[in-house]
Structure 1
Amino acid sequence: MEKVRINLINSLDFYNKCLLGNVNENSLRYGLMQPMKTMWDYLNVPLKTTQPNGYDVVMASEMLGIWTPRKSTQQVKDNLPKLIESKIFDEYQEVILKGIHEFEKIDYSIPLKKIDVNILLGDEESQEMKVNKGYSGFGGIPGYIMLMVIPNDFNKKRLKSALAQEFNHNVRFTFEPFNYGDVTVEEYLVLEGLAECFAEEMYGKELIGPWIADFDKEEMAYSIEVIKEGRKTKGFGEVSAYMFGDGIAKKRGFNPVGLSENAGYTIGYHLIKQYLANSSKSIAEATLTPTEEIIRVSKFFD
């Protein structure tokens, strides 16, 4: 099998320059984000807008909860040492290699020559970060992974698990591409459930994300019924209401559907657990299985 090269974007250099007062928005554009330009191009995000206050990589970063030079450098002073202490800058390669090995065990050669990893400080003012206990990630474009962190005692021990999730997204999208305009609730449930179960397989249930809620029997049954009714719904905005719940839906301008926070992530996780039990497949094999087959074999909505 051809080896996948793992490349770490040098965000530490960027943040150290921040502490010296030597960065601005262009430093973020052309220093921190330029190496991931192919990813941003795919998302139709220019490195720099041609319009005053227009949409570009700085604005997109802020929407994702990433710290930018528009915010106080005190955040960098406070959080960079804690992010370094988490050891994720030392352990990121181990995580990806461990993930690759899971697929080597089923003789699957990941069709990527390189994976760029960008470990970034989150913005303390970001609602995205607050909702997710100070950490999040993006692995929606194969070959690129971003991990955004406001380090704290809860998330510092979960960063390897979070990175494993985003790696699983990378692999899943090489098999079944994600179309933001046409994505269905079913596809999104399967996507996130696979990633969470993959991370659980690698690092244990105690380190799964806070977005997997411990629903009681009544709320689980209710959530399944709401999602079952809307599982063929298409379009990222419409689908997001099912995944993120009413609170986030209202804040982002989506129509709420009557679900609690991150309900889709919880249901997706349990859907995949049921599929794995019914199919006797490994999580790596499940990652390379069509959504329709996973839904059918799981019998989750029957």
Structure 2
Amino acid sequence: MKIIEVNTLPALRQVLLAPAEQQDELFRMLVMEPMRPTWEPMLAYMPHDPSDPSLSAARLIHLYRPELGAERGLRALEQLERAQVFEVNRRVLAEAMDALHPDAHEGLSPDITLTLALMDPDGPMKEGYVGMGNTPGWVGLYIWPRNENWLKLPAITAHEFNHNIRFQQPDWTFPMTLGAYLVAEGLGETFAAELHGESSLGPWTTDLQEETLRQLAPRYEELLLDNDFTQVRGYIFGDLPPEEFGAFAVPHVGVPPYAGYALGYHIVKDFLRRTGISAAEATYLPWRDIVNGSGWMRVP
């Protein structure tokens, strides 16, 4: 498997240093066009301006844009470039590939594209960073630097690459079931912890206590085979404030924020503990086997 690099930070620097009247067009061409596979599909179901799909997509996913001002954007780029964020995560991706051995498995994509982009600092992600692995063959990292949050990105890179492999397994079909989604998020987080330590994980996985998750588990067990995508997302992301999810808000279903991430993590972690296998090995197993072997619940 080959790594393809799409580092948009140097391109954004070029955009922000250009004359103001040229910046939007340069942004479309130099920043958004190389990332087109990550944003174009979402425009089919998201409200946007069809006359300017690139800028519409940048606003939807809260990327840094020329309209947000050159000075603070250039300062942020300098921080990320000084910390060699792209280079670090490129190495991390190579290490994740070595751990998962994708070339030993038939039918997987031959390439993986790593992209890094600057986020809108006023967007909904309060931690200032997020990963995207929902585009086949892509690992997307989006960040606004604050409090050295770039140190959290290696775990995100590992998590999103795990998704890319997991989403190519035979039991990952669309629309996916709640059970399959729980296990996918749990595998992403346990794999990240395996490579970078549990302390590298984000609050969406670690904030909820096991006692709370035990109380929620029977409700999730009843819905493991549910494949209503809207409801499934509700149980994965939980009852987030609308402003935290932006245009991608999900309906409230009466569970804490990110409950599905935390529960999926504990399900997979306990499966690994009980079986003695690694998260890398478990990535290639059917989700039903992982749920049934976790001690948390059984697939109906």
The TM-score by the shorter chain falls in which range? 0.7 to 0.9
Rate the CA distance shift 1:211–1:85 in 2: closer, same or farther, 3 A. farther
Q: Work out the CA distance in 2 between the residues paired with 1:208 and 1:233.
A: 28
Q: Is 1:36–1:144's contact at 8 Å kept on the other side of the alignment?
A: no
Q: Work out the CA distance in 1 between the residues paired with 2:167 and 2:210.
A: 33
What SS is found at the alignment partner of 2:145? coil
Determine whether 1:111 maps to 2:108. Answer: yes
Q: Work out the CA distance in 1 between the residues paired with 2:170 and 2:242.
A: 26
Q: Work out the CA distance in 1 between the residues paired with 2:103 and 2:36.
A: 32
* Aligned match of 2:288: 292
Note the residue ranges of structure 1 that are not aligned, 5 or more in a row. none
Q: Report the Cα offset of residue 17 of structure 1.
A: 1.3
* Aligned match of 2:154: 160
Letter in 2 for 1:238: Q
Compute the RMSD of aligned alpha carbons. Answer: 2.8
Q: Report the Cα offset of residue 8 of structure 1.
A: 1.5
Q: Is 1:6–1:115's contact at 8 Å kept on the other side of the alignment?
A: yes
Q: Is 1:249–1:255's contact at 8 Å kept on the other side of the alignment?
A: no
Determine whether 1:61 maps to 2:58. Answer: yes
Question: Of 73, 78, 82, which aligns to 2:70?
Answer: 73
- Scaled by the length of structure 2, the TM-score of the pair is 0.85
Note the residue ranges of structure 2 that are not aligned, 5 or more in a row. none
* Aligned match of 2:31: 32
* Aligned match of 2:185: 192
Q: Work out the CA distance in 2 between the residues paired with 1:233 and 1:249.
A: 24
Q: Report the Cα offset of residue 265 of structure 1.
A: 0.6
Q: Work out the CA distance in 1 between the residues paired with 2:278 and 2:107.
A: 16
What SS is found at the alignment partner of 2:277? coil
Rate the CA distance shift 1:63–1:25 in 2: closer, same or farther, 3 A. same
Q: Report the Cα offset of residue 241 of structure 1.
A: 1.2
What SS is found at the alignment partner of 2:141? strand
Deviation per CA, 1:14-73, whole angstroms, max 9, x where unpaired?
A: 121133135534433332232343444555669xx88346xx343233322322233233
Q: Report the Cα offset of residue 105 of structure 1.
A: 9.5
Q: Is 2:238–2:255's contact at 8 Å kept on the other side of the alignment?
A: yes
Rate the CA distance shift 1:27–1:209 in 2: closer, same or farther, 3 A. same
* Aligned match of 1:205: 198
Q: Report the Cα offset of residue 157 of structure 1.
A: 1.2
Deviates more, 1:100-109 or 1:263-272: 100-109
Q: Is 2:40–2:57's contact at 8 Å kept on the other side of the alignment?
A: no
Letter in 2 for 1:116: T
Q: Is 1:185–1:234's contact at 8 Å kept on the other side of the alignment?
A: yes
Please give the residue correspondences for 1:115-264 in structure 2 after superposition, counting only pairs within 5 Å: 115-127=112-124, 129-130=125-126, 133-153=127-147, 155-176=149-170, 182-248=175-241, 254-264=250-260
Q: Is 2:171–2:287's contact at 8 Å kept on the other side of the alignment?
A: no
What SS is found at the alignment partner of 1:183? coil
Identity %: 28
What SS is found at the alignment partner of 1:9? strand
Deviation per CA, 1:203-239, whole angstroms, max 9, x where unpaired?
A: 1111112211333354222222332233332233211
Say how many residue pairs are matched.
Answer: 291
Letter in 2 for 1:169: H
Q: Report the Cα offset of residue 78 of structure 1.
A: 3.1
Determine whether 1:14 maps to 2:8. Answer: no
Question: Of 279, 296, 299, which aligns to 1:283?
Answer: 279
Rate the CA distance shift 1:118–1:186 in 2: closer, same or farther, 3 A. same
What SS is found at the alignment partner of 2:112? strand
Rate the CA distance shift 1:52–1:234 in 2: closer, same or farther, 3 A. same
